[in-house]
Amino acid sequence: MKYTPKDKALLLLEDGTLYEGYSIGIKGTTTGELCFNTGMTGYQEIYTDPSYFGQIIVNTNSHIGNYGVLDTEQESGAPKFSGLVCKEYSSMFSRLSADGSLQNYFEKYNIVGISGVDTRQLVRHLREKGAMNGVISSAVLDVEELKNILAHVPSMVGLELSSKVTTNEAYTLGEETAKYKVAVLDLGVKRNILKNLVDRDCQLKVFPANTSYQDMLSFAPNGFFISNGPGDPEAVPYAIETVKTILDHDHPTFGICLGHQMISLANGVKTYKMHHGHRGLNHPVKNLITGKGEITSQNHGFAVRLEDVQNNDKVEVTHVNLNDGTVEGIRVVGKKAFSVQYHPESSPGPHDSTYLFDDFIALMQ
Instruction: Please say if 257 is a catalytic residue.
Output: yes
Query: What is the amino acid identity at position 101?
Result: S
User: Collapsing DSSP states into helix, strand and coil, what is residue 76?
Assistant: coil
* Choice among 257, 278, 300, 328 that is catalytic: 257
DSSP characters over 264-298? HHHTT--EEEEEEEEEEEEEEEEETTT--EEEEEE
Q: Are 160 and 231 in contact (CB under 8 A)?
A: yes
Beta strands in the chain (DSSP E): 8-13, 18-25, 29-37, 55-59, 63-64, 83-85, 88-89, 112-115, 132-137, 171-173, 180-185, 202-207, 223-226, 253-256, 271-287, 293-304, 315-321, 327-332, 337-340
- Give rounded-to-5 percent helix, strand, coil for the chain: 25, 30, 40
* Choice among 45, 294, 328, 345 that is catalytic: 345
CA gyration radius for the chain?
21
Instruction: Please say if 202 is a catalytic residue.
Output: no
Instruction: Please say if 278 is a catalytic residue.
Output: no
CA 8 – CA 190 distance, rounded (Å) = 34
* Choice among 251, 300, 319, 343 that is catalytic: 343
Which residues are designated catalytic? 257, 343, 345
